[in-house]
Amino acid sequence: MACLLASTAGVVPVDDAAFAAAYEATGDVDRARLKTCIARLHVLYGSASGLGAGDVREGRTATRWRHGFTSLEQASPCAWTLLCVDASWSSGPRLLAALLPALFAGVGSVAVLRVGGGGAWPPQVLAALELAGQEVAADAEPAAVPALLEALAASGGVGGAAGRLLLLGEHPDQMAALARVQGVPVWRDAPSPTIAIASCGDGIENSDCPDGAALRAAHPDATFVDVPALPESLGRAVAPAPLVPLFPLAPLSAVACAPAHAGGWLPHTGLVLGPGHEWCWMHPGLTPAWFARRSVALLPASPPPEDLLP
């Protein structure tokens, strides 16, 4: 992947000096916060007991069903992943949340591309990549991306299905359309998140409240809204209750709140962050399983043994 980036017109790889400078500029405190993000994602998606454990195991499995047929499934990590951020991308945690599931899945080759950007990358972004062990990154002119996608789609041996494209930030619809025409699955994040910081309300210690300044530092490009604590009746409700009469908000990407209020917010947003997790992020639904290639054969009840061999 690194050789392909270096040889593509309009693509400028990020050099080691830029990574080193960004690492130092990020500072000890923010590097520790990024490490916490990586550690949480590893437990959730990369460890033996996590949510994504066993999602991508290369091999072939035959199952003879009592209903009179045999299924044969073949699974493997995809061959490559191209993760594109826009020119203004500045959040290390949200980048890690998209990158690490691909790494945990064992994707063969991964590259991070800043499309249309110029100049120095935000330090926390390159520091996040460095800490994750992902040092294949580059700036690319928008016109260079189609050629990269075509080359990658042709490299897998089975067409675009061998790869994955992730788009974070603002990107033209044509980029996703081009990938899909070549059979490349595409995942898109919301262009800019809206994050609510909920009041802790009465009876909650300050130590149990998220650090709003740290949260804003983790997501410089996000829109933040301050909201009151959920009414007690909503906070304990099992079924989702409408928020519109209470808070006329756009859809929330995440809510930061005291642990005591987390359960009440879960029906209303895909991610709730408590204190100590201001620099953590997850993209619900984007797991290592999305980076797996799976094929299934439906066969007679007792196919010849050679049909089950790789």
Per the CB < 8 A criterion, the answer to whether 148 and 81 are in contact is: no
Q: Name the average pLDDT for the chain.
A: 87
The structure tokens listed for 125 are 């972004």
Mean pLDDT score, 197-219:
90
263 secondary structure, DSSP code:
H
Mean pLDDT score, 34-44:
95
Q: Across the chain, where does the E strand assignment appear?
A: 11-13, 59-65, 69-77, 80-86, 109-115, 137-140, 163-168, 186-188, 194-198, 223-227, 254-256, 272-273, 292-299
Residue 306 has pLDDT above 80, yes or no: no
Nearest to 221 by CA among 87, 129, 40, 115: 87
Task: Identify the three-state secondary structure at position 91.
Answer: coil
State the pairing for strand pair 137-140/11-13: antiparallel
pLDDT digits (tens, 9 = 90+) for 94-106: 999 999 999 999 8
Mean pLDDT score, 160-188:
91
